[in-house]
Amino acid sequence: MAASLKCEAAGCTEVKTADDMSTCIALMQLHQKNEHEASDAHQKPPTINRPVLQQSIGEEEWAAFTRRWHMFQKGTNLSLGQVMAQLLACCEPELEVALFREDPTIASRAEKEILDAMKLLTVVNVALSVRRATLLQTKQDPGEHVRQYVARLRGLANVCQWSKTGVCTTATCSGTVTIDYTEDIVKLVLLNGLGDEEIRKEVLGTTEIDTKTLNETVCLVDSKETAARAMVTDYLRVAASSYKKMGRGQTNQASPRPTHDYGEQDKMKCKIRCQCGSLTPQFGKVRGRVKEFKLCLECWKKNHPRTRKSSQPESCESMEALFHYVATTEMSSGLSGALPHPTLKLSVAVDVEAYTKMKTPCPPCRSATITAIADSGAQTCLMGLQIMKNLGLRQQHSGCRCPLRTAPPPRPAKLPMVPSPKSTEVMKDWLLKRYASSTFNICPHQPLPAMTGPPIEIRVDPDVQPVVTRRPPNVPVHWQEEVSEQLKRDMALGVIERVPPNTPVTWLHSMVLTPKSDGIPRRTVDLQPLNRHSVRETHHTITPSHPLNR
């Protein structure tokens, strides 16, 4: 008995018929695999980067993080068990450690509870008045597009709560109404913070500017900026074209064609008699141009005593000056302010290598984005105190009045006093003052003087596998603060240094703490594995008792 099956795919009218049902099912499966599964196959989209949450951020950065997190969660189709792990992985290592210190069971919490805990530790609470004042004082940066400026204003305005809630005035309604006037505030700040004064005057002078919406105002300012950029671009293109033409004309004059040489050579051969009676050329070149002379050079100098010889080359004298800015003579009389200095947006950071070369511990710092005036580099580059604060550099006094560490002075040829028991105190004071900046200088804030010569080489058997201690030593609670201060002091002295991150470790030995006689900790290093595999060098010396036994 014949069997038939119809394809159940939407829009497909395919029907398969066979002698038995098993053959009909096989034909229908083959049809679905060739026709429908191939059409459903699509290219795998690229992976979405997981957002990163940093510490000490504002409300605007937190809102941006939550938006990126929801996009990441939606684009990766995370399961319920993966959401918590991925959300905690968005934190920086320090923030993640702080979260688990605050709540060791935070990994088992709900997503909303984890977000609330993250916000509590990362977002810096700023008063609403401060946020609103920051928005109202925001200006357009030089070279910033108006749409980027408006996007920046919207981000600041979203955390300022520009809304009011009141009771509905309708007689039959007893609910509340929320009025949001964020768009009006953004428009007000936009008109007040435009960087170009000419565009600002034109926009404020536009009819019905008060009734235009924010988007219409942005389109108006955008058109003005586009026209201004087009004018500057056209002027620069014309100026560059004129400069190239002028350069070509000078090149042609500097290397004239043979067809013109005959006429100029004939002119150069002509002589006239000056009023002083001497013969002088009738024609000559002045600043690259052929001119007729009526006097000799000496008579011309007598008639022009104030004229000085120009020190500029001929190629520069024949050029015309070009304005750095667009200028026009068709303007009404009146005074106008000078154009603002060109500025740039720069990302600056502290040069850590300079601290390393000077063997000085680098303070905690960060990078910052600043707006600086573009300069030729001929003058001194200056940065204000505010930029230093943005970089994390704080003005502070070390509180150290120790003398600067210097090398020991040479051995004196003669003592300044007669050595005797009576002059013990005088000699002690003299020794303390003479070696105050070298031997007796125990200042913990200045690095020790570095030794000169080749570095010390530890000879280790090359076939030995390096020993690395991964487990840190246990420090008693009453010693933790003192040991930490000792480590910081040794880093300031240059005795030890912090290992940079992502540095492979070949040999690593454990720190050993033992108490001194007065109870303070003594730090040593367990070098037994290194001593076990190091090759000792023999240094033969004579013992003090050996000459006496001869």
* Domain shared by 66 and 29, yes or no: no
Cα–Cα distance for residue pair 425/431, rounded to 1 Å: 10
Residue 56, pLDDT score: 81
* Domain shared by 111 and 64, yes or no: yes
Cα–Cα distance for residue pair 482/488, rounded to 1 Å: 10
In a domain, 26, yes or no: yes
Cα–Cα distance for residue pair 475/304, rounded to 1 Å: 93
* Domain shared by 68 and 110, yes or no: yes
Structural domain for 112, as ranges: 59-122
For 118-151, letters b (16+ CB in 10 Å) and e give: beebbbeeeeeeebbeebeebebebeeebeebbe
| Class of residue 25 by CB neighbours under 10 A (exposed 0-12, middle 13-18, buried 19+) | middle
Place of tokens 């993966």: 82
Residue 3, pLDDT score: 78
In a domain, 314, yes or no: no
In a domain, 325, yes or no: no
Tens of pLDDT along the chain (550 residues) come to 677 888 887 778 888 888 888 888 888 888 888 777 655 555 667 788 888 888 888 888 888 899 999 889 888 888 777 888 888 889 888 888 888 888 888 888 888 898 998 988 888 888 888 888 888 889 988 888 888 898 889 888 888 888 888 887 777 777 788 888 888 899 999 988 888 888 888 888 888 888 888 888 989 998 888 888 777 555 555 555 555 555 555 444 444 444 444 455 555 567 777 777 677 777 777 777 777 777 888 888 777 765 454 444 445 445 555 544 444 444 444 444 556 677 778 888 888 788 777 777 777 777 788 887 776 665 556 667 777 777 766 665 455 777 778 888 888 888 888 889 888 999 999 999 999 888 888 887 777 777 778 888 888 888 888 888 888 888 999 999 999 999 988 888 888 888 888 888 888 999 999 999 988 999 999 999 888 888 877 777 777 777 766 6
Of 102, 122, 142, which residue sits at a domain end? 122
DSSP state letters, 185-232: HHHHHHHHS-S-HHHHHHHHTSTTTTTS-HHHHHHHHHHHHHHHHHHH
Residue 340, pLDDT score: 67
Cα–Cα distance for residue pair 53/95, rounded to 1 Å: 8
pTM of the model: 0.37
* Domain shared by 72 and 102, yes or no: yes
For 103-213, where are the alpha helices, taking DSSP H only? Answer: 111-122, 128-136, 146-157, 182-192, 197-204
Cα–Cα distance for residue pair 533/525, rounded to 1 Å: 16
Residue 491, pLDDT score: 85
Residue 540, pLDDT score: 76
Number of folded domains that form the chain: 4
* Domain shared by 75 and 111, yes or no: yes
In a domain, 148, yes or no: no
In a domain, 67, yes or no: yes
DSSP code for 114 = H
Residues 6+ apart with CB under 8 A from 520: 482
In a domain, 49, yes or no: no
Question: Which of 140, 144, 142 is closest to 341 using CA atoms?
Answer: 142
In a domain, 522, yes or no: no
* Domain shared by 33 and 63, yes or no: no
DSSP code for 460 = B
